[in-house]
Structure 1
Amino acid sequence: MKTNQRILHHITEMADEERRLRDHLVTDGAADPAGNRARLVELERELDQCWDLLRQRRARSEFGENPDEAHVRPQSQVENYKS
């Protein structure tokens, strides 16, 4: 369970950073818009991977399997995953 909490905490941190970057782009135009956009893309991909990992862990737990056997899948496999 502690691992799930760490994943959720990491998701929250990344989502907060994503919101700050988006707000910064809208309100200030941002000092480095290209860099901020690149970071947003990176965050979105990392978030997709984290959500996927958390779902894998929860599913494994639900079906009596070891959640620690879940693994981070490639970004190309989980990109734009919708819950």
Structure 2
Amino acid sequence: MDDKTVLGRIHELVDEEHKLRQQVGRGEISTDDEHARLRELEEGLDQCWDLLRRRRAAREAGNDPNAEQAHSVSEVENYYQ
């Protein structure tokens, strides 16, 4: 996955987050459903941002950014624990 694809995925997730907030505002979905999906979106965003940062760091270090792969949600979400 190249940087452009990762950024595209980030934009898709952010767009979905905005739509989700509009849906709950219109009463189309419950806040419980919103919160569950928001958690998934946030995890996906964290994964994408992590991959993008690691790709950029690899490039700056003179390494192949394409060697970087997305880490699992549990790994990304537990970096600081």
TM exceeding 0.5:
yes
CA distance in 2, matches of 1:39, 1:45: 10
Unaligned runs of 5+ residues in structure 1 are: none
Aligned to 2:27: 29
CA distance in 1, matches of 2:60, 2:18: 32
What is the deviation of 1:73? 1.1
**RMSD in angstroms over aligned alpha carbons?**
2.1
Which letter maps to 2:52? L
CA distance in 2, matches of 1:29, 1:80: 34
TM-score by length of 2: 0.82
Which letter maps to 1:38? A
TM-score by length of 1: 0.80
Which letter maps to 1:23? Q
Moved over 4 A (4+): none
SS of corresponding position for 1:53? helix
Aligned length: 79
Counting aligned pairs with the same residue, the percent is: 44
Aligned to 1:76: 74
Aligned to 2:14: 15
Aligned to 1:38: 36
Unaligned runs of 5+ residues in structure 2 are: none
Distance 1:23 1:79, change over 3 A: farther
CA distance in 1, matches of 2:42, 2:78: 8
Which letter maps to 1:51? W
